Amino acid sequence: MRTVKEQLVPARKLAHTSVLTMMNIMVDKKYLRRKKETGGYSYRARVTEHATSRRMLRDLVDRAFDGSSLAVVQRLIDTGDLNHQELDVLRRLIGRKAKESSS
């Protein structure tokens, strides 16, 4: 717990209780595993960063865009500052997805 707070300090000053509350919420949501040890608890990730970001993105799409991935992509393209390289990557990804869908 102390290590987490120390890592957050440069970005944000948070009270010990605030960090503890957030970590307990993450335990409840099954993002973290808590284990009783001498002098307190240790926490370990239960899911990968990829799985967590996927779950968070799905939640955002469901809540803010009524479940429409197309609406998300349209909004990102309309409001994002995409450079030529990023647009090329998007074109390749769309092409690959189109090939997968037609197979």
How many C-beta neighbours within 10 Å does residue 82 have?
Answer: 13
Non-local CB neighbours of 30 within 8 Å, separated by 6+ positions: 46, 47
In this prediction the pTM is 0.60
**How far apart (Å, rounded) are the C-alpha atoms in residues 84 and 2?**
43
Are residues 29 and 63 both part of a single domain?
Answer: no
Percent of the chain at pLDDT > 70 equals 90
Are residues 53 and 93 both part of a single domain?
Answer: yes
Residue with tokens 């189109």: 98
69-81 pLDDT, tens per residue? 999 999 988 998 8
Residue 15 domain boundaries: 2-45
Are residues 26 and 53 both part of a single domain?
Answer: no
What number is the average pLDDT over the span 1-21? 74
Are residues 30 and 60 both part of a single domain?
Answer: no
Q: What mean pLDDT value characterizes the chain? A: 89
| The residue type at 44 | R
Are residues 89 and 76 both part of a single domain?
Answer: yes
Are residues 38 and 24 both part of a single domain?
Answer: yes
Locate all alpha helices (DSSP H) within 15-83, ordered by sequence: 16-28, 49-64, 69-79
- Per-residue pLDDT band for 19 (boundaries 50, 70, 90) equals confident
pLDDT at 16: 80
What number is the average pLDDT over the span 78-100? 93
Q: Between 45 and 5, name the one with better pLDDT.
A: 45
Are residues 86 and 54 both part of a single domain?
Answer: yes
Are residues 70 and 95 both part of a single domain?
Answer: yes
- Number of domains, the chain: 2
Residue 32, pLDDT above cutoff 60 = yes
